[in-house]
Amino acid sequence: MGWIKRNILFSIVAVVAVALLGGAGLLIYKGWARNSEASEKLNTIYSDIQSLNGQSPAPGNDKINNTAIAKDQETELRKWLASVEKHFTSIAPLPSEKPVASEYASALRKTIDTLQRRAEAASVSLPLRYDFSFGAEKDRVTFAPGSLEPLAVQLGEVKAIVEILFAARINALVGLQRVRVSEDDTAGPQADYLDAHSVTNDLAVITPYVVTFRCFTPELSRTVSGFAASPHAFIVKYINVQPASAAATAATMPGGEMAPPGYGNPQLNGYLTPQGQPPATAPPGTGKGGMQTILKEQLLQVTLEVELVKLLPKS
């Protein structure tokens, strides 16, 4: 202690020097740690660049900027999606998205009456007192829990499908089938329903319908064109065509049971005939100067399955 007292100034300087050396060492260590971390990040970035440049396609170089090209292509893709979106216009439910029982019952009766009147105006024959597949619901004032919203959606979709058929001027609507969406559907005529259901994927809900109608070939062409030109995303999935006379003959199976469409009718070149023979031809005309009849147009019965694609709401 005596030495320290005699050399107090030296002792203070020594303590301060040791403290400064410790602080400098700490700063050097922190700097080394930061440099080491930065070096690791730099090596990682360099490795990623080498990996990207080795891929096909690569981000590019000073002459070709693949990143900018990809952004331009993304912009073009979004423009294309916007242009095709008009073909996926949703069909409005009837009477609304969330109807009450009285509203739906009224809208259903009004829609059936409207479609019957439009059929008469378009000279389209309908089955007697036809209800367009809503026989289980048309006289109800109460409905199974959870049924109103899907039924309102189906009513709007059925109306859109039938209006395409009427616009094509078909001769007769034989029937329309839809998927069951209500417990009430179990009590309806089973010929009104499909043994199928809607399918939902990451993008859309796909709902099938089947319509059976009678027409000649020009009306069939207009029907298919009508579905193709619709602002709603209808996809014609399947067509079964046969002469109406063959359909009437094949409508009853042995034992009196009703047959499925096309029963007992072998197919030839896409057309079905009672005995599997080509469509009947008329004998050549014998009158002088008259045109010979080569093929006589005949009434067809068409069973057509369409799928309606409904985009899911954007998240």
C-alpha angle with apex 201: 199 to 207, nearest 5 degrees?
30
- What pLDDT shows up at residue 263? 38
- What pLDDT shows up at residue 274? 38
Among 55-59, 241-245, 265-269, which range has the highest average pLDDT? 241-245
For all residues of the chain together, what is the average pLDDT?
76
As a whole number of angstroms, the distance between CA 245 and CA 235 comes to 28
Q: Which tens digits make up the pLDDT trace of 250-277?
A: 654 444 444 444 433 333 333 333 333 4
Mean pLDDT of 4-11: 60
Q: Provide the percentage of residues in the chain whose pLDDT is more than 90.
A: 39
Question: Does residue 93 surpass a pLDDT of 60?
Answer: yes
Tokens 């829609």 map to which residue?
Answer: 111
Higher pLDDT, 174 or 263: 174
Residue 302 is encoded by which pair of tokens? 């068409």
The DSSP element (H or E) to which 31 belongs, if any, is helix 8-53
Question: Does residue 79 surpass a pLDDT of 70?
Answer: no
The answer to whether residues 233 and 88 touch, using CB atoms and an 8 Å cutoff, is: yes
As a whole number of angstroms, the distance between CA 234 and CA 307 comes to 6
- What pLDDT shows up at residue 270? 37
Mean pLDDT of 131-147: 91
Query: Which class in CATH covers the domain with range 91-252+299-311?
Result: alpha beta
Phi, psi at 134, each rounded to 5°: -110, 35
pTM comes to: 0.63
Higher pLDDT, 280 or 196: 196
Residues facing 241 on adjacent strands: 271, 302
As a whole number of angstroms, the distance between CA 175 and CA 173 comes to 6
The DSSP element (H or E) to which 172 belongs, if any, is strand 172-179
